[in-house]
Amino acid sequence: MKQEKQQKLSLSLVTGYESDLFRRSEGLLYARRKPLWQSGIAAFILTVLVFAAFGLSAFRGGQTAGESAEALFDSNAVKQINNRVIARCETKTASGSAVTLELVVEKGTHRASSGYHGRCRLRLRNSQKETLAVLELSEVFAGSATQDFRDDISLETVDYNEDGRMEVAVGQRSARKASDEAVSVTNSAVARQFKKQNTYEYYVIDIGEDKLTPVSPEIYVSDVTPLQEGSMIFSYVEGAGGVITVSDGEDTSYYVWNHKKSRYELKDLTDEQLEKRWEKYGTDSAQTQRYSLKDENEKEIMDVSVSTQSNGGLSINRIRINPKGLDQRAGTKTITNVEGYYYDLQWAQSDSEEQRYALLSYNGTAGRTFALYDVKKQKLCYRPAEGNEALQKVFKEYGADDIKFEKNGAVVYSLMEITGDDVLKVNFAASAKDDISVKGTYQYRLSTGNVTSLQYSRES
């Protein structure tokens, strides 16, 4: 009877997989209990494995295509970039319109240790950020579809040929033979520059109203600092109608502007020939003047280049700043977005630091005004807005709504002093409606850009 039950039970749905149920039950009843520490270790190992599996899954899930796990934690990893502006500078066209020149990596990569690599272009934009012109650098550096630039690349514009049109020099490490033009000219300086291993080639780009045009052959330079690798300011002979000079020891090569071809050409230039260019373009050069600012060592560290107009006014062309001296080959900042007539350039007296701030006084579009520059940082600190709209806003904030300034009326600004905590005290005089003259002062804090402490008086 028992055997019949056993057979029936072993064939049931629940235990059909077990052939000897009584033997298994006996083993379970007398099985030894595992120590607690063994169970704890097993649970710990299992937990670690589960977390490792989930962590690896999440790590792989967040990883981009073609990117290794090591690259995600590497600060020097290669990163893909598109349409990134890596340098820009404010300048102006020959008509006086304010424009922005940008260096753009259209498609490429970036690595912290080496900078940018890829297809690059120069882009010109107006004040409304509309694109006026684009120049692919692959068209400039023939045979090279990609270019390389450092993280600290900067663009500087100069009017080398003194025709009122700004130019910029863009460079790359030379990877090809000299052109026929460079070889045909027996110039020892060019030959030595080209043969050196660490040689860079540059091209001068003309900035037009709506066009960017290469206007020079390759210009080879071997004595290049890291900051000059992508763009540099060449030395040139002022008043000679466009003569760029590149020196190698005692020898100098000349890139001379050909007015008929609108292009620079590499030429051997003697002192007599250079003198003839001065005589030929003497009328224009005589109208160009330069006012400079010197440090305590009598070294020029800032200058303003002006042109004499038919009305006798000294129109500001450009400003250059280099705290180490304008005679240095690197580090000079060029500023061209100042519109007005030169009046004076001097050191601004400051309680915090002597010979830190340079004060440029000039006649703007709406009256006498000024611009304050931080020579050490090579940047504009403060310049009152042209016209009286900004002044009207200040009066409104102080509740002086009864004073209404004439639209496009004349206003005169001058800097009175700079206190120890970098606060400017600005003096102003403006004409208001109903034949009222308003004079007063306000304070401008450089750190915040806030205008405070308005004081004024009115006269009928």
DSSP string, 43-70: HHHHHHHHHHHHHHHHHHHTPPTT--HH
Task: Say how far apart CA 101 and CA 240 lie, in whole Å.
Answer: 26
pLDDT for 21 equals: 45
Q: CA 3 from chain center: how many Å? A: 96
- Return the SS3 of 21: helix
What stretches of 199-262 adopt beta strand conformation (E)? 200-207, 212-214, 219-221, 235-236, 243-248, 251-258
Q: Determine contact, residues 122/87, Cβ cutoff 8 Å.
A: no
Q: What is the pLDDT of residue 425?
A: 94
pTM of the model: 0.53
Distance CA 172, CA 191 (A): 18
pLDDT at 34: 52
Q: How many CA atoms lie within 13 A of 263 on its CB side?
A: 12
Residue 90 pairs in a beta bridge with 100
pLDDT of the residue at 33:
52
pLDDT digit of tens for each residue in the chain (460 aa)?
444 444 444 444 444 444 454 454 444 444 445 555 555 666 667 666 656 655 555 444 444 444 444 444 555 688 999 999 999 999 988 888 889 999 999 999 999 888 999 999 999 999 899 999 999 999 999 878 999 999 989 898 989 988 889 999 999 998 755 444 444 444 555 555 555 557 899 999 999 999 999 999 999 998 788 888 999 888 887 778 899 988 776 678 899 999 899 999 999 888 778 778 877 775 444 467 889 999 999 999 999 988 877 777 888 888 889 898 888 766 778 787 788 899 999 999 887 778 899 999 999 877 899 999 999 988 899 999 887 888 888 998 888 878 888 777 788 999 999 987 789 999 999 888 888 889 999 999 998 888 999 999 988 7
Alpha carbon distance, N-terminus to C-terminus of the chain: 132
pLDDT of residue 344: 94
Instruction: Decide: helix, strand or coil at residue 150.
Output: coil
Neighbours of 200 (CB within 10 A): 21
Q: For residue 373, which of 339, 334, 410, 324 has the smallest C-alpha distance? A: 334
What tokens does 369 get? 């005004």
pLDDT at 247: 77
pLDDT at 26: 47
d(Cα 119, Cα 234) in Å, to the nearest integer?
25
pLDDT at 41: 63
